[in-house]
Structures are given as structure tokens and as C-alpha cells.
């Protein structure tokens, strides 16, 4: 099934193909946007301007070609590859950065920052611009199949006609003079010397100007930079200028050099770290030593820095004068990391810099607590009873719970120390309750979540765990009233309303369940979980079309968010609704879509495996069915699954114990949903007791 075809697949329902199809790139036909104003710099600012902040000059044809390729990827859905080549200083990196920046500004594409981002990015509805400097990038492209990707290669030697090569030569002299004017105001003689020495390479021209300012070969006279002598020093290459600046900064400190290399790897092409680049440049070129004590105060007084919530930040891009030339190499390195942490626009780069400084509390500010930060703290050997580390571990456990990964969740919770603050102990108990629900132990889950609520009744995470448990096991309206009380005020109102809706459905009040979902939509419009619940309720009422429409809307939101797991969940439910309505052909079209998504992202869903077996007529053996039961029972605390194929295959296997467990699961699910199938399961359960003898 080609989901990216311009026309629906023959014999496939048009509405289903349209729902998953990726349309053309939503990009302007012309790449041109608002160009930056060319304003010359003065004083030390001219020596610190970052190359990434400079406009692109003399590259209109190249930008036209890149933009045309991106449109072609969006129109055809076919991947394309282009290699940008050129000597150092010709602007290869700047051009690749530009196509990423422009794609983000116009919404034309998603930009991949790292290999790990591919999993989510390739499931979205716009093309992806993938920038790679590795010589093995073509091997990566070969694994992408028909994904709509424009691969931009910055370096490496590649053979073959499938790769288009764009070689950057010298820029026209008028464009180069325009760029020089953007950096400094210089006399004609100085401009001519720079143009001649740079050989038409814009990066070399800018670095040469800054080099001459640093060594005193340029001085300001009447507001213009002029040469101080007839023969200014001419380094042989742009690369040597960069190496010289780094060597002067590190002064033989291998650890500091390694730190700079690490910092360079933190700068993905679509993130502008102008302040970081300026900080490193300042460290490398600072010629006058400043006092060791009071440098932050002095810099703030001079207007170079500002205090923002206790954190010192740059007062303007490109000026990082707070980082001084410290005689101690280690202290200088720490100051460099601190400057990055205070100025980086990328949250992960900021977090890593604070970890390098040893300030774990600031490392979490503005960063989602997940696998990346937990891994950093583990590598640092952080004690298990450290509150920050415990907070990160609990955040990771929450993510694993949503994914239904009970084994890894338990391993993470086992890392927690014993001597924790009360609020973290309560959160840990709530997580243990969620784990018990994953493993179909509702009695243990109830005891744990009650203990957590008694320990810290005001904590939102604890309340959510309690409400989630009650939405499965509630037997009276007392639990519902308590959840509604929490939903009336404070954080998480939309989530509590959704949990209250599910609890109302369990109690049989579907009118109230729909009303609560309406209230949730007013707070969080378009929430995919609310849409999924609305689809489940409609299915339980036998309103198939309303159910399918709501589930399809939820799938669209999940796709826009790059949530592959959410897309698969909605596909499972849509297949279930279609099979219950005896619309097998439409269900198998959706199953083909699920196959494509799973093969691309390497995920595995037990219920989809059962649907595949139902489609093929192959019945699983007892061991396979046992494995499915374990996984489905674990996932049922967060997502309900169709019990129909599970029961039919248990009947085919002929194992009474498995059939009893399958029927118990079916009764629990459809009791929770109030689905008309419930009467069928109850009758089968009663007949099973009469027709099969008890086993010894």
C-alpha cells in the first residue's frame, strides 16, 4: 500500500488512503524571505561577529536549486540527495544551515538534528531535510526507502549518478564587498586587500578581517578601519586561522581541546548558537586580563550582561564579555561551559553544559526529564538517594509506563535510593502502583496508590495515579466525585476530566462521560486522548461512523506530533470497530498501514499480531497465546484492546486455562466500555463452567 501516492490505491477505500497520505510541502514557491539588514559593526564587536549570523551573499542560484529540490521531495515523496562541496571558507556549512533555517521558518519541512530523531520525523506529514557530514550518509539514505527526505551532504567523496553535486566557487566581487561592509566599515584600500587575499571565499574574508583586527593590522581612523602598514600578515588558509585561534586558547591543554570538540558536536545545523560561538571566540581572543573576582558584577555594570531570574545572560547576541582570560586552564574551561549554559538556545546543549559544570539543578531547567539526562547523571555516578536523580528516574519510569514497558520500568524504579523526601517517596509508590496495574495486579495497585495518596495527598502525580486506577476498578460514585473535585481547580484539569469521563463510563453513565469529555475539550481542544476516548464511547454505543471519525481525528493529531505509538493505538481501535461491524476489507487496508508503520519504526504490538493471525487464518499455539495474554493484560491499564480475536483463538487452542483468562480479560474490557459484546462473553463464561470438567 503506497500511502504517499498522488492517487488512491486501486480498490482501497478513498477516505482511508486520504487520511494517511502525505501531501506536498507547505512551502512558498520562492525561497526568498526577508533578508537581514546589512549594518557594519564597530569596535570589538567586529572581531567577535559569528559566521552563522552573517547573511549569505552571491549564492542565489544555489539556494534556488536547494529550494527546488525540497519542493520536488514534497511533491513526489521520493528521497533526493545533494552533496554541497567547496573549499574551506566558501560557505558550505552556512548554506546547509540556511536551508534548514528557511524550512523551519516557512513550515516546509522538519529538520533532523540526530539519528534518534528519525523515528518520529519520518512519521510526520511534511518532508524532512537531513543534513549529514558523514561519508556513510548514503548508506543511511538507502535504509530510508521511499520516505520524503532531502539529504544534504556537507563533505565526503561519493560516486554514482544518484547524487547531485553542488560545488561552491568564489562569490562575485560585488557580493563579497557587500559582506565585508556588513562586518566593518573600511576604506577602499582595505576592502581591496581583503578581496584579493580571500580569493572570493566569504568565510576567509571575514576571518581575515577579524585576524587583522586582533593583531593590530587594522585600526579605526575617522570611523573607518584602515591598514596600519603596507604589508598586513597573510595566513595561507582560512583553516589555519581557525586552528591558530583554538591553539592560542587551549595552550596545550588536551582536556580543554576535547571540551571544545564536544561543544562543537552539540551544535545541530538548525540551531543558531551565536552566543556560544561568540563566547568561544571571546575566550580565544581576549587580550586584556580582567580581575578574577567580581567579573560578573563588572560586566553587568558595563551593560554586557543582564541578570534574568538569577542566571546571567548575554545582553546582546555576539557579545559575551563576562568570560575572561583566566590564568588557570581548568577555571577557564569551567567559565566556557558556564557561558554556553547561559547562552545556548538548544535546551539539551544548555543542560549538558550545566552537567559539565557540576550544577545538576540548573541542568534540569527547561529540559524534559527523560532518557538523555538520566544517562548523563548515571555516567556521573550520581548517588541513588540524590533528590534530582530520583526525580529524573521517576520521570523516566512515567514514560516507560505510558509505553507499557513494565520490565524496564521496574529496573528504573529499583535504582531509587531509600532516603528520599516525602514527595518523592509518594511519587515512587504511585509509580509502583502503575507497575502493578501493568502486571494485572489491581489489589496491589490499589494498596500502593492509597498509601501514596495518604503520604502526599496534594501531589498531582499521585492524584493522577489514583484516578487512573479508579477509572479501571471503580464500583461507586465516591471515586468519581473525588476525581471531579480535583478537576475543578489546579493543574491537570483536562487530564482529571478525561479520567473522570472514563470512570463515569465504567459506572455505566455514558451521558456524563461524554459531557466530561466536552468539558475537557474546552480546556485542551483537540487532545488526542480525549478524541480516542470519544471514539471508544461511540463504539460502545454502536455508533460506528462517529467512532471511526473520532479515532481518525486522534490519529491526525498523533501524526502531527510525531507520535508513532499513538498512531498505532488509534489504528488498532479503528480495525477493531471495522471488524465488529463486519467490514473486513476496510479493516485489512488499515492493517496494511499498520504493517508499513511497524516495519519502518521497528515497533511491535501484540494486538496487531492477533489481527494479522485472524486475517490469515493461522491460529497461534498455546505459548504464543500466553505471550499475547501477558502483553495485552499489561497494556490494558493504559489502553483497552479488542478481546474478540483473543477469545476465538483461545477456543481454537482448546486450553481451558487460557480460555478462562481470555474471557476474564474480555469481560473486564467490555464491562469497562459497556460494549454490547459483554453479554456474549458472559454467556460463554457460564457455558464454559458447565461444558468443561474441572482439571485436577
* Whether pTM exceeds 0.75: no
- The reply to whether 160 and 246 lie within a common domain is no
Over residues 622-641, mean pLDDT:
55
Instruction: For residues 430 and 424, give the distance between their C-alpha atoms in angstroms, rounded to a whole number.
Output: 10
**CATH label of the domain that carries residue 133:** 3.40.50
Residue 657 is assigned to a structural domain of this protein: no
User: Is residue 117 predicted with pLDDT exceeding 70?
Assistant: no
**Does one domain contain both 248 and 333?**
yes
Name the range with the highest mean pLDDT among 7-16, 310-319, 563-572, 667-676: 563-572
Is there a contact between 453 and 462 (Cβ–Cβ < 8 Å)? yes
Lookup: cell for 339: 557561558
Confidence of residue 81 (pLDDT cuts 50, 70, 90): confident
Residue 491 lies in a domain: no
Is 294 contained in some domain?
yes
What is the C-alpha R_g of the chain?
31
How is 152-211 classified by DSSP, letter by letter?
Answer: EE-S----STTEEEEE--PPPHHHHHHHHHHH--B-HHHHHHHHHHHTT-HHHHHHHHHH
pLDDT tens readout for residues 87-104: 767 777 778 777 777 776
- Residue 129 falls within a domain, yes or no? yes
Cα–Cα distance, 540 to 156 (Å, whole number)? 58
Q: Is residue 416 part of a domain?
A: no
* Boundary-marking domain end, from 363, 384, 402: 363
For the cut 50, the answer to whether the pLDDT of residue 424 exceeds it is: yes
Q: What is the mean pLDDT of residues 590-595?
A: 80
Domain end (from 363, 380, 414): 363
Domain boundary among 137, 167, 197: 167
* pLDDT > 70? residue 352: no
Same domain as 284, residue 157: no
Cell numbers of 622, please? 498455546
Instruction: Please tell me whether residues 143 and 251 are part of one structural domain.
Output: no
Q: Tell me, what's the pLDDT at 452?
A: 92
Q: What is the mean pLDDT of residues 557-564?
A: 72
pLDDT band at 451 (very low <50, low <70, confident <90, very high): very high
Task: Tell me how far apart the alpha carbons of residues 679 and 544 are, in angstroms, rounded to a whole number.
Answer: 19
Among 12-26, 219-233, 256-270, 282-296, which range has the highest average pLDDT? 219-233
Same domain, 156 and 248: no
Task: Say whether pLDDT at 224 is over 70.
Answer: yes
Closest CA to 413 of 425, 403, 404, 423: 425
Weakest mean pLDDT among 66-75, 277-286, 395-404, 452-461: 277-286
Per the domain annotation, does 449 fall within a domain?
no
Tell me how far apart the alpha carbons of residues 496 and 494 are, in angstroms, rounded to a whole number: 6
- Please name every residue paired with 313 in a beta bridge, in sequence order, or none if there are none: 306
Same domain, 250 and 350: yes
Tell me how far apart the alpha carbons of residues 62 and 166 are, in angstroms, rounded to a whole number: 8
258 plus 359 within the same structural domain: yes
Average pLDDT over residues 461-467: 89
- Residue 655's SS3 state is coil
The pLDDT of 396-414, averaged and rounded, is 79
Query: Does residue 126 share a domain with residue 21?
Result: yes
Domain count, the chain: 2
Range of the domain at 308: 239-363
Identify whether residues 135 and 247 lie together within a single domain. no
Beta bridge partners of 219: 226
pLDDT value at residue 368? 41
Question: Cβ distance 173 to 205 under 8 Å?
Answer: no
Q: Write out pLDDT tens, residues 533-551.
A: 888 888 877 788 888 988 8
Average pLDDT over every residue of 480-491 = 85
Quick one: pLDDT band at residue 448, thresholds 50, 70, 90? very high
pLDDT at residue 210 in the model: 73
| Higher per-residue pLDDT: 331 or 205 | 205
Alpha helices (runs of H) in 49-151, residue ranges in sequence order: 60-76, 92-106, 118-121, 137-142
Domain assignment present for 685: no
Amino acid at each position: 500500500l503506497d500511502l504517499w501516492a498522488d492517487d488512491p490505491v486501486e480498490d482501497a477505500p478513498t477516505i482511508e488512503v486520504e487520511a494517511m497520505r502525505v501531501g506536498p510541502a507547505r512551502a512558498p514557491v520562492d525561497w526568498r524571505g526577508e533578508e537581514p539588514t546589512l549594518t557594519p559593526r564597530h569596535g570589538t564587536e567586529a572581531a567577535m561577529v559569528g559566521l552563522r549570523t552573517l547573511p549569505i551573499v552571491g549564492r542565489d542560484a544555489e539556494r534556488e536549486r536547494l529550494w527546488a529540490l525540497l519542493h520536488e521531495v514534497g511533491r513526489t515523496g521520493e528521497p533526493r540527495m545533494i552533496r554541497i562541496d567547496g573549499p574551506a571558507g566558501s560557505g558550505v556549512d552556512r548554506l546547509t544551515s540556511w536551508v534548514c533555517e528557511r524550512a523551519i521558518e516557512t513550515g516546509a519541512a522538519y529538520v533532523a538534528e540526530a539519528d534518534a530523531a528519525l523515528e518520529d520525523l519520518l512519521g510526520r506529514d511534511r518532508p524532512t531535510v537531513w543534513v549529514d557530514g558523514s561519508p556513510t550518509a548514503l548508506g543511511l539514505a538507502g535504509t530510508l526507502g521511499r520516505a520524503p527526505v532531502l539529504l544534504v551532504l556537507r563533505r565526503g567523496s561519493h560516486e554514482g549518478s544518484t547524487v547531485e553535486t553542488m560545488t561552491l566557487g568564489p562569490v562575485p566581487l560585488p557580493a563579497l564587498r557587500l559582506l565585508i561592509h556588513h562586518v566593518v566599515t573600511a576604506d577602499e584600500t582595505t576592502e581591496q586587500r581583503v578581496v584579493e587575499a580571500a580569493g572570493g571565499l566569504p568565510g576567509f574574508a571575514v576571518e581575515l578581517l577579524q585576524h587583522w583586527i586582533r593583531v593590530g593590522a587594522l585600526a579605526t581612523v575617522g570611523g573607518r578601519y584602515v591598514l596600519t602598514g603596507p604589508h598586513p600578515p597573510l595566513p595561507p588558509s582560512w583553516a589555519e586561522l581557525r586552528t591558530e585561534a583554538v591553539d592560542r586558547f587551549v595552550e596545550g591543554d588536551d582536556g580543554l581541546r576535547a571540551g571544545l570538540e564536544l561543544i562543537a558536536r552539540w551544535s545541530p545545523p538548525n540551531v543558531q548558537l551565536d552566543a556560544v560561538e561568540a563566547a568561544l571566540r571571546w575566550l580565544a581572543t581576549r587580550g586584556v586580563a580582567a580581575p578574577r573576582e567580581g567579573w560578573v558584577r563588572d560586566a553587568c555594570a558595563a551593560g554586557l550582561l543582564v541578570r534574568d531570574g538569577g542566571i546571567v545572560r548575554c545582553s546582546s547576541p555576539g557579545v559575551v564579555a563576562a568570560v575572561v582570560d583566566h590564568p588557570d586552564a581548568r577555571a577557564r574551561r569551567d567559565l566556557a561551559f558556564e557561558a554556553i549554559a547561559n547562552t545556548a538556545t538548544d535546551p539539551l546543549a544548555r543542560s549538558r553544559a550545566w552537567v559539565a559544570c557540576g550544577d545538576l539543578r540548573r541542568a534540569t531547567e527547561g529540559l524534559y526529564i527523560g532518557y538523555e539526562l538520566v544517562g548523563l547523571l548515571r555516567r556521573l555516578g550520581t548517588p541513588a538517594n540524590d533528590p534530582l536523580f530520583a526525580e529524573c528516574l521517576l520521570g523516566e519510569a512515567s514514560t516507560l509506563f505510558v509505553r507499557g514497558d513494565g520490565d524496564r520500568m521496574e529496573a528504573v524504579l529499583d535504582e531509587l535510593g531509600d532516603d528520599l523526601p516525602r514527595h518523592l517517596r509518594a511519587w515512587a509508590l504511585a509509580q509502583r502502583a502503575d507497575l502493578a496495574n501493568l502486571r494485572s495486579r489491581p489489589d496491589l495497585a490499589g494498596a500502593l496508590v492509597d498509601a501514596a495518596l495518604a503520604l502526599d495527598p496534594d501531589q498531582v502525580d499521585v492524584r493522577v495515579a489514583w484516578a487512573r486506577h479508579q477509572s479501571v476498578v471503580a464500583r461507586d460514585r465516591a471515586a468519581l466525585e473525588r476525581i471531579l473535585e480535583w478537576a475543578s481547580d489546579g493543574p491537570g484539569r483536562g487530564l482529571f476530566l478525561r479520567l473522570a469521563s472514563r470512570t463515569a463510563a465504567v459506572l455505566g453513565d455514558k451521558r456524563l462521560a461524554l459531557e466530561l469529555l466536552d468539558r475537557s475539550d474546552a480546556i485542551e481542544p483537540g487532545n488526542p486522548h480525549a478524541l480516542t476516548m470519544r471514539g471508544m464511547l461511540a463504539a460502545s454505543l454502536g455508533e460506528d461512523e462517529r467512532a471511526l471519525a473520532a479515532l481518525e481525528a486522534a490519529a491526525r493529531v498523533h501524526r502531527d506530533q510525531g507520535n508513532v505509538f499513538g498512531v498505532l493505538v488509534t489504528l488498532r481501535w479503528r480495525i477493531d470497530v471495522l471488524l465488529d461491524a463486519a467490514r473486513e476489507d476496510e479493516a485489512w487496508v488499515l492493517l496494511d498501514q499498520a504493517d508499513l508503520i511497524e516495519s519502518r519504526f521497528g515497533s511491535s504490538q501484540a494486538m496487531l499480531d492477533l489481527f494479522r493471525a485472524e486475517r490469515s487464518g493461522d491460529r497461534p499455539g498455546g505459548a504464543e497465546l500466553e505471550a499475547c495474554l501477558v502483553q495485552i493484560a499489561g497494556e490494558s491499564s493504559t489502553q483497552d484492546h479488542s478481546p474478540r480475536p483473543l477469545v476465538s483463538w483461545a477456543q481454537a487452542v482448546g486450553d481451558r486455562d487460557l480460555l478462562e483468562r481470555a474471557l476474564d480479560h474480555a469481560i473486564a474490557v467490555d464491562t469497562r466500555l459497556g460494549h454490547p459484546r459483554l453479554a456474549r462473553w458472559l454467556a460463554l463464561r457460564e457455558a464454559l463452567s458447565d461444558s468443561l470438567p474441572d482439571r485436577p
